[in-house]
């Protein structure tokens, strides 16, 4: 598989259901406190900043399903793993979608964790706020990074959030 494949919760459940648990690896790339609050049973925890240095901990002989809270960090991890020639699936919507939080709008816009009964305006405003907070969070991590590579990773992630904010802003103006 070149690159990685995005799958919805339903597609991911079908993917997992068609295999034995030891025929894939479920990889949670969130922080330990997030994992403690909620994780998909059987998941291995490797926070995103640690993925490049812990590639040896991730089996190469089976597909890897990456997930985070909403799909952004896991997409970054999926790119890293796919770049290593691994078969990777990214769970779109992440743990939020897995536990049943609804998305309003196209999945590729990342509008997850917003109640299904929200108005379009409310959903877009909430999504914009989430992206703004994540961009700030990653920006703060750039300053506190312990290495240049870690700093570059957080800078890249902050850039994704800025791109997401612009996409949402354009949608709000329609």
Structure tokens given for 108: 């590729």
The Cα 18–Cα 14 span in angstroms is: 6
Please name the residues in contact with 99: beta carbons below 8 A apart, sequence gap of 6 or more. 38
Query: What does residue 165 show for φ and ψ, rounded to 5 degrees?
Result: -60, -45
The Cα 61–Cα 124 span in angstroms is: 40
Active site amino acids: 68
The Cα 11–Cα 65 span in angstroms is: 11
Helix (H, G, I), strand (E, B) or coil at 44: strand
Q: Rounded to the nearest 5 degrees, what angle is found at the Cα of 138, between the Cα atoms of 85 and 87?
A: 15
Helix (H, G, I), strand (E, B) or coil at 41: coil
């Amino acid at each position: 598989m070149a690159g990685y494949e995005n799958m919805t919760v339903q597609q991911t459940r079908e993917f997992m259901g068609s295999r034995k648990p030891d025929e894939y690896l479920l990889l949670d790339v969130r922080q330990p406190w997030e994992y403690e609050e909620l994780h998909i049973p059987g998941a291995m925890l490797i926070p995103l900043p640690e993925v490049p240095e812990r590639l040896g901990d991730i089996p190469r002989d089976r597909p890897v399903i990456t997930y985070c809270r909403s799909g952004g960090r896991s997409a970054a991890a999926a790119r890293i793993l796919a770049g290593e020639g691994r078969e990777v699936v990214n769970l779109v919507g992440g743990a939020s979608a897995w536990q049943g939080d609804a998305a309003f709008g196209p999945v590729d816009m990342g509008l997850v964790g917003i109640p299904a009964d929200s108005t379009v305006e409310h959903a877009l405003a909430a999504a914009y706020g989430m992206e703004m907070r994540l961009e700030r969070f990653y920006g703060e991590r750039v300053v506190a990074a312990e290495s240049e590579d870690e700093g570059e990773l957080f800078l890249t992630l902050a850039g994704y959030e800025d791109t997401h904010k612009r996409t949402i802003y354009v949608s709000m103006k329609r």
